[in-house]
Chains A and B, each alone.
Chain A
Amino acid sequence: MELLVASGVGVLTAGGVWLILQGRSFSVILGLALLSYAVNLFIFASGRLAIGLPPILTKSTTGYTDPLTQALVLTAIVISFGMTAVIVVMALGAFLETGSDRVDIDDDSRDGL
Protein backbone atom coordinates (compact mmCIF):
# COMPACT_ATOMS: atom_id res chain seq x y z
CA MET A 1 0.00 0.00 0.00
CA GLU A 2 2.71 2.47 1.04
CA LEU A 3 4.85 1.45 -1.94
CA LEU A 4 1.90 1.85 -4.32
CA VAL A 5 0.99 5.36 -3.10
CA ALA A 6 4.60 6.52 -2.87
CA SER A 7 5.46 5.34 -6.38
CA GLY A 8 2.20 6.84 -7.64
CA VAL A 9 3.20 10.24 -6.29
CA GLY A 10 6.70 9.83 -7.68
CA VAL A 11 5.60 8.77 -11.19
CA LEU A 12 3.00 11.55 -11.42
CA THR A 13 5.56 14.16 -10.31
CA ALA A 14 8.20 12.91 -12.73
CA GLY A 15 5.70 12.90 -15.60
CA GLY A 16 4.48 16.37 -14.65
CA VAL A 17 7.99 17.84 -14.52
CA TRP A 18 8.91 16.23 -17.85
CA LEU A 19 5.79 17.63 -19.53
CA ILE A 20 6.35 21.13 -18.09
CA LEU A 21 9.86 21.17 -19.53
CA GLN A 22 8.47 20.63 -23.06
CA GLY A 23 7.84 24.36 -23.42
CA ARG A 24 4.54 24.09 -25.35
CA SER A 25 1.44 25.38 -23.64
CA PHE A 26 -0.61 22.18 -24.02
CA SER A 27 2.01 19.94 -22.45
CA VAL A 28 2.79 22.53 -19.78
CA ILE A 29 -0.87 22.60 -18.76
CA LEU A 30 -1.04 18.78 -18.71
CA GLY A 31 2.16 18.72 -16.68
CA LEU A 32 0.72 21.16 -14.15
CA ALA A 33 -2.40 18.98 -13.90
CA LEU A 34 -0.27 15.88 -13.25
CA LEU A 35 1.71 17.78 -10.60
CA SER A 36 -1.49 18.80 -8.86
CA TYR A 37 -2.71 15.16 -8.89
CA ALA A 38 0.59 14.13 -7.35
CA VAL A 39 0.32 16.72 -4.61
CA ASN A 40 -3.31 15.80 -3.88
CA LEU A 41 -2.30 12.19 -3.40
CA PHE A 42 0.61 13.31 -1.21
CA ILE A 43 -1.60 15.47 1.03
CA PHE A 44 -4.01 12.57 1.35
CA ALA A 45 -1.20 10.28 2.44
CA SER A 46 0.15 12.82 4.94
CA GLY A 47 -2.77 11.97 7.25
CA ARG A 48 -1.44 8.36 7.38
CA LEU A 49 -2.81 5.58 5.16
CA ALA A 50 -5.71 3.67 6.67
CA ILE A 51 -7.98 1.18 4.92
CA GLY A 52 -11.70 0.92 5.56
CA LEU A 53 -11.87 3.40 8.43
CA PRO A 54 -14.42 6.22 8.65
CA PRO A 55 -13.31 9.87 8.88
CA ILE A 56 -15.98 10.49 11.55
CA LEU A 57 -15.97 9.37 15.17
CA THR A 58 -19.16 7.75 16.42
CA LYS A 59 -19.82 5.64 19.48
CA SER A 60 -19.62 2.38 17.54
CA THR A 61 -16.43 3.03 15.56
CA THR A 62 -13.17 1.63 16.83
CA GLY A 63 -10.71 3.52 14.64
CA TYR A 64 -10.78 6.55 12.37
CA THR A 65 -8.81 8.12 9.55
CA ASP A 66 -7.71 11.77 9.60
CA PRO A 67 -10.54 13.91 8.18
CA LEU A 68 -8.48 17.10 8.00
CA THR A 69 -6.30 15.96 5.10
CA GLN A 70 -9.46 15.18 3.13
CA ALA A 71 -10.60 18.76 3.67
CA LEU A 72 -7.15 20.04 2.63
CA VAL A 73 -7.24 17.91 -0.53
CA LEU A 74 -10.68 19.25 -1.35
CA THR A 75 -9.41 22.83 -1.05
CA ALA A 76 -6.34 22.03 -3.13
CA ILE A 77 -8.47 20.38 -5.84
CA VAL A 78 -10.81 23.37 -6.08
CA ILE A 79 -7.91 25.83 -6.29
CA SER A 80 -5.91 23.85 -8.85
CA PHE A 81 -9.07 23.37 -10.92
CA GLY A 82 -9.66 27.13 -10.99
CA MET A 83 -6.03 27.89 -11.76
CA THR A 84 -6.00 25.37 -14.61
CA ALA A 85 -9.03 27.10 -16.10
CA VAL A 86 -7.21 30.46 -15.88
CA ILE A 87 -4.05 29.22 -17.55
CA VAL A 88 -6.03 27.44 -20.31
CA VAL A 89 -7.82 30.70 -21.15
CA MET A 90 -4.59 32.72 -21.04
CA ALA A 91 -2.67 30.19 -23.14
CA LEU A 92 -5.51 30.22 -25.66
CA GLY A 93 -5.37 34.02 -25.75
CA ALA A 94 -1.61 34.01 -26.23
CA PHE A 95 -1.94 31.38 -28.99
CA LEU A 96 -4.55 33.43 -30.84
CA GLU A 97 -2.46 36.61 -30.50
CA THR A 98 0.88 35.15 -31.52
CA GLY A 99 -0.01 32.09 -33.60
CA SER A 100 2.45 30.03 -31.60
CA ASP A 101 1.96 27.80 -28.60
CA ARG A 102 5.51 28.16 -27.30
CA VAL A 103 5.67 29.19 -23.66
CA ASP A 104 9.23 30.56 -23.79
CA ILE A 105 9.70 34.06 -25.18
CA ASP A 106 12.08 34.43 -28.12
CA ASP A 107 14.28 37.47 -28.55
CA ASP A 108 12.33 38.76 -31.57
CA SER A 109 9.21 39.39 -29.56
CA ARG A 110 11.01 41.24 -26.80
CA ASP A 111 10.89 44.38 -28.97
CA GLY A 112 12.88 46.76 -26.83
CA LEU A 113 11.29 45.94 -23.52
Chain B
Amino acid sequence: MGNWIIVPVLLPAVLAALIVLAARTDLVLQRVFSLAETEALLVLALALFRAAALDGPETYHLGNWPAPFGIVLVLDRLSVLMVLLMAVLAVPVLVYAVGSGWDGRGRHFHALFQFQLMGLSGAFLTGDAFNLFVFFEVLLIASYGLMIHGGGRARLQAGVQYVAVNLVGSTLFLFALATIYAVTGTLNMADLAVKVAALPPGDAALVRVAGVLLLLVFTLKGALVPLQFWLPETYARAPGPVAALFAVMTKVGAYATLRLYTLVFPPDTPATGLLFADLLLPAALLTLAVGAVGVLGARGLARLAAFAAIASMGTLFVAIAPFTPQATTAALYYMIHSTLAGAALFLIADLVLAGRGSDDLRQTLPPIRGEGLIASLFLATAIAVAGMPPLSGFVGKLLVLEATRAQMALVWPVILGTSLLTIVGLAMAGSALFWRSHSVANRDTAPRAAPPVLPLVAVGLLLALLALLTVFAGPVTDQLRLTADALYDPSGYIASNALAAPE
Protein backbone atom coordinates (compact mmCIF):
# COMPACT_ATOMS: atom_id res chain seq x y z
CA MET B 1 0.00 0.00 0.00
CA GLY B 2 3.13 2.20 0.15
CA ASN B 3 2.18 5.84 0.51
CA TRP B 4 -1.33 5.10 1.75
CA ILE B 5 0.09 4.34 5.21
CA ILE B 6 0.33 8.06 6.04
CA VAL B 7 -3.21 8.86 4.87
CA PRO B 8 -5.01 7.86 8.14
CA VAL B 9 -2.89 10.54 9.84
CA LEU B 10 -3.04 13.18 7.10
CA LEU B 11 -6.74 12.94 6.22
CA PRO B 12 -8.12 13.90 9.67
CA ALA B 13 -5.44 16.58 10.05
CA VAL B 14 -6.36 18.26 6.76
CA LEU B 15 -10.10 17.90 7.40
CA ALA B 16 -9.78 19.33 10.92
CA ALA B 17 -7.95 22.37 9.59
CA LEU B 18 -10.54 22.73 6.82
CA ILE B 19 -13.38 22.54 9.35
CA VAL B 20 -11.80 25.26 11.49
CA LEU B 21 -11.00 27.53 8.54
CA ALA B 22 -13.85 27.04 6.09
CA ALA B 23 -16.79 25.89 8.18
CA ARG B 24 -16.33 27.41 11.60
CA THR B 25 -19.77 28.95 11.75
CA ASP B 26 -21.71 26.39 9.70
CA LEU B 27 -22.60 23.39 11.86
CA VAL B 28 -24.28 21.50 8.99
CA LEU B 29 -21.18 21.76 6.82
CA GLN B 30 -19.01 20.65 9.76
CA ARG B 31 -21.20 17.61 10.24
CA VAL B 32 -21.04 16.69 6.55
CA PHE B 33 -17.24 17.03 6.47
CA SER B 34 -16.78 15.15 9.69
CA LEU B 35 -19.07 12.24 8.85
CA ALA B 36 -17.68 11.90 5.32
CA GLU B 37 -14.12 11.91 6.64
CA THR B 38 -14.82 9.33 9.33
CA GLU B 39 -16.46 7.00 6.83
CA ALA B 40 -13.58 7.49 4.38
CA LEU B 41 -11.24 6.59 7.23
CA LEU B 42 -13.21 3.40 7.84
CA VAL B 43 -12.97 2.35 4.18
CA LEU B 44 -9.28 3.19 4.15
CA ALA B 45 -8.69 1.19 7.35
CA LEU B 46 -10.43 -1.83 5.79
CA ALA B 47 -8.24 -1.58 2.67
CA LEU B 48 -5.09 -1.23 4.79
CA PHE B 49 -6.19 -4.19 6.92
CA ARG B 50 -6.49 -6.33 3.81
CA ALA B 51 -3.09 -5.17 2.58
CA ALA B 52 -1.40 -5.89 5.91
CA ALA B 53 -3.00 -9.34 6.07
CA LEU B 54 -1.90 -10.22 2.53
CA ASP B 55 1.53 -8.61 2.22
CA GLY B 56 2.87 -8.48 5.77
CA PRO B 57 4.43 -5.44 7.48
CA GLU B 58 5.20 -2.38 5.37
CA THR B 59 6.80 0.93 6.26
CA TYR B 60 6.45 4.53 5.18
CA HIS B 61 9.65 6.53 5.59
CA LEU B 62 8.79 10.13 6.44
CA GLY B 63 10.88 12.48 4.30
CA ASN B 64 12.40 9.35 2.76
CA TRP B 65 15.13 9.20 5.43
CA PRO B 66 16.49 5.67 5.97
CA ALA B 67 15.09 3.88 9.00
CA PRO B 68 16.97 4.36 12.25
CA PHE B 69 17.69 8.03 11.42
CA GLY B 70 14.33 9.14 10.11
CA ILE B 71 10.87 8.49 11.49
CA VAL B 72 8.93 5.55 10.07
CA LEU B 73 5.27 4.60 10.12
CA VAL B 74 4.81 0.84 10.20
CA LEU B 75 1.73 -0.90 8.86
CA ASP B 76 1.47 -4.33 10.43
CA ARG B 77 -1.42 -6.49 11.57
CA LEU B 78 -1.59 -5.01 15.07
CA SER B 79 -1.32 -1.34 14.10
CA VAL B 80 -3.92 -1.63 11.36
CA LEU B 81 -6.23 -3.58 13.66
CA MET B 82 -6.15 -0.68 16.10
CA VAL B 83 -6.76 1.89 13.35
CA LEU B 84 -9.70 -0.19 12.13
CA LEU B 85 -11.10 -0.49 15.66
CA MET B 86 -10.82 3.28 16.09
CA ALA B 87 -12.56 3.97 12.77
CA VAL B 88 -15.31 1.44 13.52
CA LEU B 89 -15.94 3.13 16.87
CA ALA B 90 -15.72 6.68 15.51
CA VAL B 91 -18.65 6.29 13.08
CA PRO B 92 -21.41 5.45 15.63
CA VAL B 93 -19.98 7.90 18.16
CA LEU B 94 -20.07 10.70 15.60
CA VAL B 95 -23.62 9.73 14.54
CA TYR B 96 -24.61 9.91 18.22
CA ALA B 97 -22.94 13.30 18.71
CA VAL B 98 -24.75 14.69 15.67
CA GLY B 99 -28.09 13.09 16.53
CA SER B 100 -28.10 14.16 20.17
CA GLY B 101 -26.99 17.70 19.38
CA TRP B 102 -23.90 17.41 21.59
CA ASP B 103 -21.73 18.76 18.78
CA GLY B 104 -23.61 22.07 18.84
CA ARG B 105 -23.27 22.67 22.60
CA GLY B 106 -19.86 24.24 22.28
CA ARG B 107 -17.54 25.18 19.47
CA HIS B 108 -15.12 23.16 17.39
CA PHE B 109 -16.41 19.70 18.38
CA HIS B 110 -15.83 18.28 14.91
CA ALA B 111 -12.37 19.80 14.49
CA LEU B 112 -11.27 18.43 17.87
CA PHE B 113 -12.82 15.06 17.04
CA GLN B 114 -10.79 14.87 13.83
CA PHE B 115 -7.59 15.91 15.61
CA GLN B 116 -8.29 13.18 18.14
CA LEU B 117 -8.58 10.61 15.33
CA MET B 118 -5.36 11.93 13.82
CA GLY B 119 -3.48 11.50 17.11
CA LEU B 120 -4.89 8.00 17.60
CA SER B 121 -3.99 6.85 14.07
CA GLY B 122 -0.52 8.29 14.45
CA ALA B 123 0.05 6.60 17.81
CA PHE B 124 -1.02 3.26 16.37
CA LEU B 125 0.99 3.51 13.15
CA THR B 126 4.26 5.05 14.26
CA GLY B 127 7.38 2.91 14.47
CA ASP B 128 9.42 5.43 16.44
CA ALA B 129 9.31 5.71 20.22
CA PHE B 130 9.73 9.50 20.38
CA ASN B 131 7.14 9.94 17.65
CA LEU B 132 4.82 7.81 19.80
CA PHE B 133 5.25 10.45 22.53
CA VAL B 134 4.43 13.22 20.05
CA PHE B 135 1.25 11.48 18.87
CA PHE B 136 0.28 10.81 22.50
CA GLU B 137 0.44 14.56 23.02
CA VAL B 138 -1.58 15.22 19.85
CA LEU B 139 -4.36 12.91 20.94
CA LEU B 140 -4.21 14.23 24.51
CA ILE B 141 -4.46 17.89 23.58
CA ALA B 142 -7.49 17.12 21.43
CA SER B 143 -8.98 15.10 24.28
CA TYR B 144 -8.54 18.04 26.69
CA GLY B 145 -10.68 20.14 24.38
CA LEU B 146 -13.27 17.41 23.89
CA MET B 147 -13.43 16.63 27.61
CA ILE B 148 -14.54 20.14 28.55
CA HIS B 149 -16.78 20.47 25.47
CA GLY B 150 -20.03 22.09 26.54
CA GLY B 151 -18.39 23.62 29.62
CA GLY B 152 -19.86 23.75 33.08
CA ARG B 153 -18.38 23.81 36.54
CA ALA B 154 -17.98 20.09 37.23
CA ARG B 155 -16.54 19.40 33.80
CA LEU B 156 -13.91 22.16 34.03
CA GLN B 157 -12.82 21.03 37.49
CA ALA B 158 -12.42 17.44 36.34
CA GLY B 159 -10.72 18.71 33.16
CA VAL B 160 -7.95 20.48 35.09
CA GLN B 161 -7.23 17.28 37.04
CA TYR B 162 -7.20 15.26 33.83
CA VAL B 163 -4.72 17.62 32.17
CA ALA B 164 -2.46 17.78 35.24
CA VAL B 165 -2.31 13.98 35.57
CA ASN B 166 -1.51 13.54 31.91
CA LEU B 167 1.17 16.23 31.95
CA VAL B 168 2.93 14.37 34.75
CA GLY B 169 2.54 11.21 32.64
CA SER B 170 4.14 12.95 29.64
CA THR B 171 7.09 14.01 31.78
CA LEU B 172 7.60 10.40 32.88
CA PHE B 173 7.40 9.32 29.23
CA LEU B 174 10.19 11.75 28.34
CA PHE B 175 12.38 10.59 31.24
CA ALA B 176 11.90 6.99 30.05
CA LEU B 177 12.69 7.81 26.42
CA ALA B 178 15.79 9.81 27.33
CA THR B 179 17.05 6.90 29.46
CA ILE B 180 16.49 4.48 26.58
CA TYR B 181 18.27 6.81 24.19
CA ALA B 182 21.17 7.23 26.59
CA VAL B 183 21.63 3.45 26.77
CA THR B 184 20.96 2.36 23.20
CA GLY B 185 21.50 5.49 21.09
CA THR B 186 18.34 4.95 19.08
CA LEU B 187 14.58 5.48 19.33
CA ASN B 188 13.40 3.54 16.30
CA MET B 189 11.41 0.62 17.69
CA ALA B 190 12.81 -2.01 15.32
CA ASP B 191 16.34 -0.78 15.94
CA LEU B 192 15.65 -0.79 19.69
CA ALA B 193 14.52 -4.43 19.43
CA VAL B 194 17.87 -5.35 17.91
CA LYS B 195 19.96 -3.22 20.30
CA VAL B 196 18.19 -4.09 23.57
CA ALA B 197 18.48 -7.82 22.82
CA ALA B 198 22.26 -7.45 22.43
CA LEU B 199 22.86 -5.11 25.36
CA PRO B 200 26.02 -5.58 27.49
CA PRO B 201 25.12 -6.76 31.04
CA GLY B 202 26.44 -3.50 32.54
CA ASP B 203 23.57 -1.52 31.00
CA ALA B 204 20.83 -3.90 32.13
CA ALA B 205 19.90 -1.86 35.21
CA LEU B 206 19.33 1.35 33.23
CA VAL B 207 17.19 -0.45 30.65
CA ARG B 208 15.11 -2.01 33.43
CA VAL B 209 14.50 1.45 34.91
CA ALA B 210 13.47 2.80 31.50
CA GLY B 211 11.20 -0.19 30.89
CA VAL B 212 9.41 0.22 34.21
CA LEU B 213 9.01 3.99 33.66
CA LEU B 214 7.48 3.32 30.23
CA LEU B 215 5.18 0.72 31.73
CA LEU B 216 4.04 3.33 34.29
CA VAL B 217 3.18 5.74 31.48
CA PHE B 218 1.22 3.14 29.49
CA THR B 219 -0.64 1.85 32.53
CA LEU B 220 -1.50 5.43 33.47
CA LYS B 221 -3.15 5.73 30.04
CA GLY B 222 -4.66 2.27 30.50
CA ALA B 223 -5.98 3.17 33.98
CA LEU B 224 -4.35 0.29 35.84
CA VAL B 225 -4.33 0.31 39.66
CA PRO B 226 -2.73 2.33 41.31
CA LEU B 227 -2.94 4.80 38.40
CA GLN B 228 -6.68 4.50 37.75
CA PHE B 229 -7.78 7.36 40.04
CA TRP B 230 -8.14 9.94 37.27
CA LEU B 231 -10.54 7.90 35.13
CA PRO B 232 -13.92 7.83 36.94
CA GLU B 233 -14.08 11.60 37.47
CA THR B 234 -12.94 12.35 33.92
CA TYR B 235 -15.15 9.87 32.07
CA ALA B 236 -18.23 10.45 34.20
CA ARG B 237 -18.08 14.20 33.64
CA ALA B 238 -17.09 14.22 29.97
CA PRO B 239 -19.92 14.58 27.45
CA GLY B 240 -21.48 11.18 26.62
CA PRO B 241 -20.15 10.76 23.07
CA VAL B 242 -16.70 11.99 24.16
CA ALA B 243 -16.58 9.40 26.95
CA ALA B 244 -17.58 6.79 24.36
CA LEU B 245 -14.70 7.85 22.10
CA PHE B 246 -12.38 7.76 25.14
CA ALA B 247 -13.16 4.01 25.31
CA VAL B 248 -10.47 3.63 22.67
CA MET B 249 -8.08 6.03 24.47
CA THR B 250 -7.44 3.63 27.35
CA LYS B 251 -6.75 0.99 24.70
CA VAL B 252 -3.84 3.13 23.47
CA GLY B 253 -2.09 2.21 26.70
CA ALA B 254 -2.83 -1.46 26.11
CA TYR B 255 -1.65 -1.19 22.49
CA ALA B 256 1.61 0.51 23.44
CA THR B 257 2.25 -2.12 26.12
CA LEU B 258 1.64 -4.93 23.64
CA ARG B 259 3.81 -3.31 21.00
CA LEU B 260 6.84 -2.37 23.07
CA TYR B 261 6.87 -5.30 25.47
CA THR B 262 6.71 -7.87 22.67
CA LEU B 263 9.04 -6.03 20.27
CA VAL B 264 11.62 -4.22 22.42
CA PHE B 265 11.40 -6.00 25.80
CA PRO B 266 10.08 -9.50 25.01
CA PRO B 267 10.14 -11.98 27.93
CA ASP B 268 13.34 -13.60 26.62
CA THR B 269 15.37 -10.36 26.80
CA PRO B 270 18.35 -11.09 29.07
CA ALA B 271 18.30 -7.58 30.61
CA THR B 272 14.65 -7.59 31.72
CA GLY B 273 13.31 -11.15 31.65
CA LEU B 274 9.89 -11.64 33.20
CA LEU B 275 10.04 -8.39 35.21
CA PHE B 276 7.16 -6.70 33.39
CA ALA B 277 4.87 -9.73 33.38
CA ASP B 278 5.38 -10.04 37.15
CA LEU B 279 4.52 -6.37 37.65
CA LEU B 280 1.49 -6.37 35.36
CA LEU B 281 -0.44 -9.38 36.64
CA PRO B 282 -1.07 -8.28 40.27
CA ALA B 283 -1.88 -4.73 39.13
CA ALA B 284 -4.33 -6.09 36.56
CA LEU B 285 -6.09 -8.32 39.10
CA LEU B 286 -6.39 -5.41 41.55
CA THR B 287 -7.75 -3.21 38.75
CA LEU B 288 -10.40 -5.80 38.00
CA ALA B 289 -11.42 -5.89 41.67
CA VAL B 290 -11.50 -2.08 42.01
CA GLY B 291 -13.55 -1.76 38.82
CA ALA B 292 -16.10 -4.37 39.87
CA VAL B 293 -16.54 -2.91 43.37
CA GLY B 294 -16.93 0.50 41.73
CA VAL B 295 -19.65 -0.83 39.43
CA LEU B 296 -21.45 -2.20 42.48
CA GLY B 297 -21.22 1.04 44.44
CA ALA B 298 -21.52 3.73 41.74
CA ARG B 299 -24.06 6.45 42.42
CA GLY B 300 -24.71 7.35 38.81
CA LEU B 301 -24.91 5.49 35.53
CA ALA B 302 -22.02 7.43 33.95
CA ARG B 303 -19.79 6.64 36.95
CA LEU B 304 -20.86 3.02 36.69
CA ALA B 305 -19.82 2.98 33.04
CA ALA B 306 -16.45 4.50 34.03
CA PHE B 307 -15.83 1.79 36.62
CA ALA B 308 -16.91 -0.86 34.09
CA ALA B 309 -14.24 0.59 31.79
CA ILE B 310 -11.65 0.19 34.58
CA ALA B 311 -12.75 -3.43 35.14
CA SER B 312 -12.47 -4.15 31.41
CA MET B 313 -8.93 -2.72 31.38
CA GLY B 314 -8.16 -5.07 34.27
CA THR B 315 -9.35 -8.10 32.28
CA LEU B 316 -7.44 -6.87 29.25
CA PHE B 317 -4.17 -6.53 31.16
CA VAL B 318 -4.70 -9.92 32.82
CA ALA B 319 -4.67 -11.33 29.29
CA ILE B 320 -1.69 -9.21 28.23
CA ALA B 321 0.44 -10.04 31.30
CA PRO B 322 1.42 -13.66 30.39
CA PHE B 323 2.97 -12.42 27.09
CA THR B 324 2.17 -15.62 25.18
CA PRO B 325 0.58 -15.75 21.69
CA GLN B 326 -2.51 -17.53 23.03
CA ALA B 327 -3.11 -14.98 25.81
CA THR B 328 -2.48 -12.10 23.42
CA THR B 329 -5.09 -13.48 21.01
CA ALA B 330 -7.57 -13.45 23.89
CA ALA B 331 -6.47 -9.93 24.84
CA LEU B 332 -7.01 -8.63 21.31
CA TYR B 333 -10.48 -10.17 21.09
CA TYR B 334 -11.41 -8.77 24.50
CA MET B 335 -9.99 -5.37 23.50
CA ILE B 336 -12.29 -5.14 20.45
CA HIS B 337 -15.26 -6.29 22.51
CA SER B 338 -14.66 -4.02 25.51
CA THR B 339 -14.10 -0.94 23.35
CA LEU B 340 -17.46 -1.34 21.59
CA ALA B 341 -19.38 -2.46 24.71
CA GLY B 342 -17.89 0.26 26.91
CA ALA B 343 -18.74 2.93 24.34
CA ALA B 344 -22.33 1.66 24.11
CA LEU B 345 -22.70 1.87 27.89
CA PHE B 346 -21.49 5.49 27.95
CA LEU B 347 -23.92 6.40 25.16
CA ILE B 348 -26.83 4.80 27.03
CA ALA B 349 -25.82 6.66 30.19
CA ASP B 350 -26.05 9.86 28.15
CA LEU B 351 -29.46 8.85 26.74
CA VAL B 352 -30.74 8.23 30.28
CA LEU B 353 -29.29 11.54 31.46
CA ALA B 354 -30.98 13.38 28.59
CA GLY B 355 -34.36 11.73 29.19
CA ARG B 356 -34.38 11.73 32.98
CA GLY B 357 -32.51 14.93 33.74
CA SER B 358 -30.26 13.01 36.13
CA ASP B 359 -28.48 9.69 36.00
CA ASP B 360 -28.43 9.39 39.80
CA LEU B 361 -29.34 5.82 40.71
CA ARG B 362 -30.50 6.76 44.24
CA GLN B 363 -33.28 9.03 43.05
CA THR B 364 -36.55 7.57 41.87
CA LEU B 365 -37.82 9.58 38.94
CA PRO B 366 -40.81 9.01 36.64
CA PRO B 367 -40.28 6.83 33.56
CA ILE B 368 -38.68 8.45 30.54
CA ARG B 369 -40.13 8.53 27.06
CA GLY B 370 -39.10 5.60 24.92
CA GLU B 371 -38.24 3.73 28.07
CA GLY B 372 -38.91 0.26 26.66
CA LEU B 373 -36.40 0.69 23.86
CA ILE B 374 -33.71 2.33 26.01
CA ALA B 375 -34.18 -0.33 28.69
CA SER B 376 -33.74 -3.14 26.15
CA LEU B 377 -30.60 -1.47 24.77
CA PHE B 378 -29.32 -1.19 28.34
CA LEU B 379 -30.09 -4.87 28.96
CA ALA B 380 -28.19 -5.99 25.85
CA THR B 381 -25.23 -3.73 26.66
CA ALA B 382 -25.18 -4.89 30.28
CA ILE B 383 -25.06 -8.51 29.11
CA ALA B 384 -22.10 -7.65 26.87
CA VAL B 385 -20.26 -5.63 29.53
CA ALA B 386 -20.72 -8.24 32.26
CA GLY B 387 -19.59 -11.03 29.94
CA MET B 388 -22.72 -13.17 30.02
CA PRO B 389 -23.81 -15.33 27.10
CA PRO B 390 -24.87 -14.89 24.33
CA LEU B 391 -22.83 -11.77 23.48
CA SER B 392 -19.12 -11.38 22.76
CA GLY B 393 -18.15 -10.54 26.35
CA PHE B 394 -18.75 -14.18 27.20
CA VAL B 395 -16.55 -15.40 24.35
CA GLY B 396 -13.89 -12.89 25.33
CA LYS B 397 -13.82 -13.90 28.99
CA LEU B 398 -13.80 -17.58 28.00
CA LEU B 399 -10.74 -16.98 25.82
CA VAL B 400 -9.03 -15.09 28.67
CA LEU B 401 -9.80 -17.91 31.14
CA GLU B 402 -8.51 -20.51 28.69
CA ALA B 403 -5.30 -18.54 28.13
CA THR B 404 -4.58 -18.10 31.85
CA ARG B 405 -5.01 -21.80 32.64
CA ALA B 406 -1.41 -21.90 33.93
CA GLN B 407 -2.31 -19.53 36.78
CA MET B 408 -5.81 -20.87 37.26
CA ALA B 409 -5.78 -20.77 41.08
CA LEU B 410 -4.96 -17.06 41.17
CA VAL B 411 -6.67 -15.62 38.10
CA TRP B 412 -9.90 -17.55 37.69
CA PRO B 413 -11.51 -16.73 41.07
CA VAL B 414 -10.82 -13.02 40.51
CA ILE B 415 -12.27 -12.98 36.97
CA LEU B 416 -15.33 -15.04 37.89
CA GLY B 417 -15.95 -13.21 41.18
CA THR B 418 -15.68 -9.76 39.60
CA SER B 419 -18.00 -10.88 36.79
CA LEU B 420 -20.61 -11.72 39.41
CA LEU B 421 -20.15 -8.33 41.12
CA THR B 422 -20.50 -6.58 37.75
CA ILE B 423 -23.70 -8.47 36.95
CA VAL B 424 -25.18 -7.53 40.34
CA GLY B 425 -24.13 -3.90 39.94
CA LEU B 426 -25.60 -3.61 36.45
CA ALA B 427 -28.82 -5.37 37.51
CA MET B 428 -29.24 -2.99 40.45
CA ALA B 429 -28.67 0.01 38.21
CA GLY B 430 -31.16 -1.30 35.66
CA SER B 431 -33.87 -1.90 38.23
CA ALA B 432 -33.28 1.52 39.83
CA LEU B 433 -33.56 3.25 36.47
CA PHE B 434 -36.25 1.31 34.66
CA TRP B 435 -38.37 -0.57 37.22
CA ARG B 436 -38.56 1.61 40.31
CA SER B 437 -39.55 4.49 38.05
CA HIS B 438 -43.01 2.96 37.69
CA SER B 439 -43.68 3.29 41.44
CA VAL B 440 -43.99 7.09 41.16
CA ALA B 441 -46.88 8.68 39.32
CA ASN B 442 -45.83 10.91 36.47
CA ARG B 443 -46.92 14.17 38.03
CA ASP B 444 -45.69 16.62 35.45
CA THR B 445 -48.31 16.58 32.75
CA ALA B 446 -46.19 18.36 30.17
CA PRO B 447 -45.32 15.77 27.51
CA ARG B 448 -41.62 14.98 27.54
CA ALA B 449 -39.77 15.05 24.26
CA ALA B 450 -39.38 11.63 22.71
CA PRO B 451 -35.72 10.66 22.32
CA PRO B 452 -34.41 11.45 18.83
CA VAL B 453 -33.87 8.53 16.49
CA LEU B 454 -30.21 8.94 15.49
CA PRO B 455 -28.72 8.36 18.97
CA LEU B 456 -30.71 5.13 19.26
CA VAL B 457 -29.46 4.08 15.83
CA ALA B 458 -25.88 4.76 16.98
CA VAL B 459 -26.25 2.55 20.06
CA GLY B 460 -28.00 -0.10 17.94
CA LEU B 461 -25.06 0.01 15.51
CA LEU B 462 -22.59 -0.67 18.32
CA LEU B 463 -24.71 -3.57 19.57
CA ALA B 464 -24.99 -4.96 16.04
CA LEU B 465 -21.19 -4.86 15.81
CA LEU B 466 -20.99 -6.78 19.10
CA ALA B 467 -23.43 -9.37 17.72
CA LEU B 468 -21.31 -9.70 14.56
CA LEU B 469 -18.22 -10.09 16.72
CA THR B 470 -19.98 -12.95 18.51
CA VAL B 471 -21.28 -14.69 15.40
CA PHE B 472 -17.96 -14.43 13.57
CA ALA B 473 -15.86 -15.16 16.66
CA GLY B 474 -14.16 -18.05 14.81
CA PRO B 475 -12.81 -16.16 11.77
CA VAL B 476 -12.01 -13.11 13.96
CA THR B 477 -9.91 -15.14 16.41
CA ASP B 478 -8.13 -16.81 13.47
CA GLN B 479 -7.07 -13.36 12.25
CA LEU B 480 -6.14 -12.28 15.78
CA ARG B 481 -4.08 -15.44 16.27
CA LEU B 482 -2.04 -14.52 13.19
CA THR B 483 -1.67 -10.99 14.63
CA ALA B 484 -0.45 -12.36 17.96
CA ASP B 485 1.94 -14.81 16.30
CA ALA B 486 3.45 -11.95 14.28
CA LEU B 487 3.99 -10.01 17.54
CA TYR B 488 6.04 -12.82 19.05
CA ASP B 489 8.07 -13.29 15.87
CA PRO B 490 9.01 -9.69 15.09
CA SER B 491 11.53 -10.53 12.34
CA GLY B 492 9.06 -9.37 9.67
CA TYR B 493 8.44 -6.10 11.52
CA ILE B 494 12.16 -5.45 11.93
CA ALA B 495 12.96 -6.41 8.32
CA SER B 496 10.27 -4.05 6.98
CA ASN B 497 12.16 -1.13 8.53
CA ALA B 498 15.16 -1.86 6.25
CA LEU B 499 17.55 -0.59 8.92
CA ALA B 500 20.58 1.08 7.41
CA ALA B 501 23.84 -0.50 8.58
CA PRO B 502 25.97 1.77 10.79
CA GLU B 503 29.08 3.03 9.02
Contact = CB atoms under 8 A, between A and B. Distances in A.
Interface of A: 20, 25, 28, 32, 35-36, 38-39, 42-43, 45-48, 68-69, 72, 75-76, 79-80, 82-83, 86-87, 90-91, 93-94, 97-98, 103-105, 109-113
Interface string B140-164: 0100100010011110111111011
Contacts of B130: 72, 75
Interface residues of B, number: 41
Contact of A112 (B148, B175, B179, B300): B300
Interface of B: 130, 134, 137, 141, 144, 148, 151-154, 156-161, 163-164, 167-168, 170-171, 174-175, 177-179, 181-182, 233, 236-237, 299-300, 302-303, 358-360, 362-363
Contacts of B363: 112
A39 B171 CA distance: 7
Contacts of A20: 164, 168
A39 B175 contact: yes
A47 B181 contact: yes
Residue picked from A75, A104, A110, most chain B C-beta under 10 Å: A110
Contacts of B236: 113
Contacts of A39: 171, 174-175, 178
Nearest to A39: B174
A53 B362 CA distance: 68
A111 B154 contact: yes
In the A-B complex, the 6 residue pairs with the smallest Cβ-Cβ separation, listed nearest first, are A46-B182, A112-B360, A46-B178, A94-B156, A43-B178, A97-B153
Contacts of B159: 90, 94
A79 B158 CA distance: 22
Contacts of A68: 181
A16 to B, nearest CB: 8
B160 A25 contact: yes
Given A87-B164, A94-B160, 9 more contacts: A25-B160, A28-B164, A38-B171, A42-B175, A72-B181, A79-B134, A80-B170, A109-B153, A110-B154
A25 B160 CA distance: 8
